[in-house]
Structure 1
Amino acid sequence: MTKSRVRTLAAALLLSGGLIAAGASSATAAAPTSITAAAFTTSVSAGVQAPTAPVAPQAPADAGSVSLDINGVDGKPSQSITIIIALTILSVAPALLLLTTAFTKILIVLGLTRNALGLTGTPPNQVLAGLALFLTMFVMAPTFSQINDVAIQPYLNQGMTATQAFEAGSVPLKEFMLKQTRPEELALMTKAADRELPATREETPLTTLVPAFALSELRSAFIIGFVIFIPFLVIDIVVSGALMSLGMMMLPPVTVALPFKLLLFVMVDGWGLIIKSLVSSYTG
């Protein structure tokens, strides 16, 4: 073997030995380090804290009492609460208008007058309802003004609470209804409610007074309607007798009597008399 071949073989052996050593060192560096059980237990126990004892609940300072304030920042009634109250009043306004004012009586009398004349659609219902509404406002104006003075304005000016305003405002309305309600209706509704008669009429609750007032208004309206029907009924009888005597049985008496009814009603100023009688029944 020559010297050159010996040198080449020695260099190859050295190179392969270096590669084997490098691979062993890299494998040793890549192997994960092992963690002992004692070290793991110590690290876990160091991050866990013992639970604390629960704290007993404490009762609030104002237990058993609730405070509700509906006033705004400046002490006046809140605008939101005022809007809610206004919407509530508007929702029950039709029932209040029908059962606690003169609207029902006036509308019934005007409707009976139209029927007595023999006119089924003239004046229209809208006209009668509008006329009844404005007559009601005219009749109830003193009562509404008194309610505004003793209840609405003091409540808006922080003079009283909502409950006090309701109680103060119901007094003028009760006075108006008591003037128009008969004792018989009050006794009827009190007996129907299984209550004892109050010592005075002023002590009658609204739950009894409102239906009693409505019954009295219906009775008065029918009495006025009966009086209105009498002269027109006489005209119908006279016209029917005249047509029978003339042998004109095929001619409807209502058609012939209608012009005479209208003439009589216009000559005596019927609408003026009826409205005057209705208004005077409350103010007189």
Structure 2
Amino acid sequence: MFFRRFIGWTSLLLALLVLAPWTLAQTAQPPVTDSNQSLPLAQPSSSLGSLPAIPGLPALTIQTNPDGTQEYTVTLQILALMTALSFLPAILMMMTSFTRIIIVFSILRQALGLQQSPSNQILIGLALFLTLFIMKPVFDQANHDALQPYINGQISAQEALAKTAAPFHRFMLAQTRESDILLFVGIAKHPPIATPEDIPFTILAPAFIISELKTAFQIGFIIFIPFLIIDIVVSSVLMAMGMMMLSPLIISLPFKIMLFVLVDGWAMIVGTLAASYGV
């Protein structure tokens, strides 16, 4: 019963809020009547309503420049920009150093034997800020060569897009193995590529991802070896003492954490990741 009353009062209040402005607009200005006639006269049109209608703007057009290039209208540019923003997480993960960093951190947590510490949020946040640190020269060059001239109206949108892609292309190409590029060239049956700068993003992006995965697992393998040795030693000692029912992970975990802290493991891991990109 209380719920029905609450719904009824809420509906009534919403109706009053909706109808109140319309009622006030009708009662605010009484109709003008003629002294000789009882019928109301038409209200004088306001200055805003007397303006002529503005013709429709060609919002979805393509303009051809004298040099032969095509330039899209602002509406199409905004539509393309909003569409590209939806791919921003994928671009951040697959075209930057984020993939290698987060995989190394995940392998490190597994090697330590920790399931939830550090948490996923902490690892992703650390990987994100480290990615921004490593990618800062690329972002600065894209901002200097493409974004600022485009904001100042010095270059067109197509030129800004090409100059933005250029530093990312060089960064990805420097971190990609030639064998991975040849693999995707063969899969796509692409014609032979003359120079590395001519490699399209459709081939460079998957090749870059495969190379990043390989490098991340190589670094993770090297990180895993010291902790694996500790697990083997602890397991052998427990077997020799006859404590077969005791889990070796419980005993080896404090030793692995102590070893990681003594060698300043976080600084070593972060420094290794940054050095692998030449930073």
| Alpha-carbon distance in 2 for matches of 1:240, 1:170 | 52
Tell whether the 8 Å contact from 1:102 to 1:136 is kept in structure 2 after alignment. Answer: yes
- Aligned match for 2:96, one of 90, 101, 118: 101
1:274 aligned residue? 269
Once the two structures are superposed, the pairs formed by residues 98-247 of structure 1 within 5 Å of their partners are: 98-247=93-242
| Stretches of structure 1 lacking an aligned partner (at least 5 in a row) | 1-65, 70-76
| Alpha-carbon distance in 2 for matches of 1:130, 1:80 | 35
Superimposed CA distance per residue, residues 18-51 of structure 1 (whole angstroms, 9 cap, x where no aligned partner)? xxxxxxxxxxxxxxxxxxxxxxxxxxxxxxxxxx
| Alpha-carbon distance in 2 for matches of 1:90, 1:67 | 22
SS in 2 for 1:190: helix
TM superposition shift of 1:153: 1.3
| Alpha-carbon distance in 2 for matches of 1:83, 1:191 | 36
| Alpha-carbon distance in 1 for matches of 2:255, 2:164 | 49
Query: Structure 1 residues 179 and 121 mapped into 2: Cα distance closer, same or farther (>3 Å)?
Result: same
| Stretches of structure 2 lacking an aligned partner (at least 5 in a row) | 1-60, 65-71
| Alpha-carbon distance in 2 for matches of 1:207, 1:149 | 25
Once the two structures are superposed, the pairs formed by residues 20-35 of structure 1 within 5 Å of their partners are: none
| Alpha-carbon distance in 2 for matches of 1:222, 1:197 | 30
| Alpha-carbon distance in 1 for matches of 2:233, 2:94 | 40
| Alpha-carbon distance in 2 for matches of 1:186, 1:204 | 9
Tell whether the 8 Å contact from 1:243 to 1:249 is kept in structure 2 after alignment. Answer: yes
TM superposition shift of 1:169: 1.3
| Alpha-carbon distance in 2 for matches of 1:79, 1:131 | 37
SS in 1 for 2:86: helix
* Paired residue total: 212
Once the two structures are superposed, the pairs formed by residues 243-262 of structure 1 within 5 Å of their partners are: 243-262=238-257
| Alpha-carbon distance in 2 for matches of 1:157, 1:195 | 38
| Alpha-carbon distance in 1 for matches of 2:266, 2:135 | 20
Residue 256 of structure 1 aligns to which amino acid in structure 2? Answer: I
Residue 89 of structure 2 aligns to which amino acid in structure 1? Answer: P
Tell whether the 8 Å contact from 2:62 to 2:73 is kept in structure 1 after alignment. Answer: no
- Looking at secondary structure, tell me which structure has more helix per residue: 1
Tell whether the 8 Å contact from 1:187 to 1:197 is kept in structure 2 after alignment. Answer: no
Superimposed CA distance per residue, residues 199-235 of structure 1 (whole angstroms, 9 cap, x where no aligned partner)? 1111101110011000000000000000000000000
Superimposed CA distance per residue, residues 158-209 of structure 1 (whole angstroms, 9 cap, x where no aligned partner)? 2222111111111111110111001001000111111123111111011100
Superimposed CA distance per residue, residues 44-102 of structure 1 (whole angstroms, 9 cap, x where no aligned partner)? xxxxxxxxxxxxxxxxxxxxxx6449xxxxxxx98866754543332110110111100
- Aligned match for 2:260, one of 261, 265, 268: 265
Residue 157 of structure 1 aligns to which amino acid in structure 2? Answer: N
Identity of aligned residues (%): 49
| Alpha-carbon distance in 1 for matches of 2:204, 2:184 | 8
- Across the aligned residues of Structure 1 and Structure 2, the Cα RMSD in angstroms comes to 1.8
SS in 1 for 2:246: coil
| Alpha-carbon distance in 2 for matches of 1:89, 1:189 | 24
User: What is the TM-score when the length of structure 2 is the normalising length?
Assistant: 0.72
SS in 2 for 1:283: coil
Tell whether the 8 Å contact from 2:146 to 2:164 is kept in structure 1 after alignment. Answer: yes
| Alpha-carbon distance in 2 for matches of 1:221, 1:208 | 20
User: What is the TM-score when the length of structure 1 is the normalising length?
Assistant: 0.71
